[in-house]
Chain A
Amino acid sequence: MKAELGFGVLAFVLVGFPAIRVVTSRDLVRAVLWLAVTLLGTAVLYALLQAPFLAGVQVLTYVGGVVTLMVFGVMVTRKHEASTVPVDAANQGRGAVAALAFFSVVAWAILRTDLAALTPVQTPSTQELAVALLDEYLLAFEVASVLLLAAIVSAVVLARRRDPVAEPSGPVGETLREGSTP
């Protein structure tokens, strides 16, 4: 029990507190930075759970990639006055209720389940993980590549600026003209 409690405190420090700061920061930039902290904390958790490779990947992609992207996003889309985020008071109540409701339902399910019945499996080493990716999970691997490609292309198409010279005409051009710069 003591170990559990100790771990609970550790988890709170690593991920719980930062997560709360993410959703409560009035400043968007701060929120993004707190997300970075949360993700780092998660990476630490992975490391503790004998998933070092995953921890590394987490740091690289999430903290390195996603957070950077978020920061860019915030910077590009901020209004020129102060970027404080007004929080909707009424919604806070609803949000809290929703979050608590969710937590209680799932927690109750977790606590009711006999988790000791699960047989622990040997966690794979990084080498084994690499092999599995290209062996058992080859199809998923390739599909994921395609998905990422599709995401890149669609993001580019959605976000590109309209060139006033080369304007395509017709119905397709109409949709493309939709998101032009104000």
Chain B
Amino acid sequence: MTLRVLLLVATALFSIGIYGLVTRRQAVALLLSIELMANAANVVFVAFSRFGGAPSQPLVLFALAITVAEVAVGLALVLLLYRRHGDTLLELASEARG
């Protein structure tokens, strides 16, 4: 369990999240992808906490709290989107068109 492997795993997790972010059409699916990315970051923090550098476990806790807050608000927005259009496809939220 070296640091390097952990970092690569976290990066892979983040990349998978990116794939989901770009690919998915449902709003909820987007939120799931974002969750993945947040978790990947947390993994990095914990890895460094274990293997070197500053102890950053408290940082993980706060990152967790922030992510939770973001999910709450995000879901509320999804709800609004659903109420407006009857569906949660992201294309429907394209009124900010240039």
Contacts and interface: CB of A to CB of B under 8 A. Distances in A.
* Chain A directly contacts chain B within the complex, with at least one CB pair under 8 Å: yes
Interface string B6-27: 1111011111111111111110
Given A88-B23, A103-B12, A28 B76 contact: no
A102 to B, nearest CB: 5
Contact of B76 (A107, A129, A159): A159
Contacts of A11: 5-6, 9
A48 B51 CA distance: 12
B2 A54 contact: no
B52 A179 contact: no
Interface string B43-68: 10011111111110110111011111
Contacts of A154: 73, 76
B80 A23 contact: no
Given A69-B75, A86-B25, A96-B19, A57 B8 contact: no
B33 A3 contact: no
A8 B16 contact: no
A140 B31 CA distance: 25
B67 to A, nearest CB: 8
Nearest to A1: B2
A68 B79 CA distance: 15
Contacts of A4: 2, 4-5
B19 A155 contact: no
**Chain B facing A: main interface SS:** helix
A166 interface: no
Given A70-B31, A76-B82, A159-B76, A62 B64 contact: yes
22 contacts: A4-B4, A22-B16, A62-B39, A69-B71, A72-B75, A74-B28, A95-B22, A100-B15, A103-B12, A103-B14, A110-B4, A115-B3, A123-B50, A123-B57, A124-B55, A133-B58, A140-B58, A150-B69, A151-B69, A158-B73, A159-B80, A179-B80
B33 A23 contact: yes
Contacts of B8: 8, 107, 110
Which 7 residue pairs spanning A and B have beta carbons closest together? A118-B52, A23-B20, A151-B69, A95-B23, A95-B22, A158-B76, A99-B19
B93 interface: no
A168 interface: no
Given A45-B46, A76-B82, A123-B50, A19 B36 contact: yes
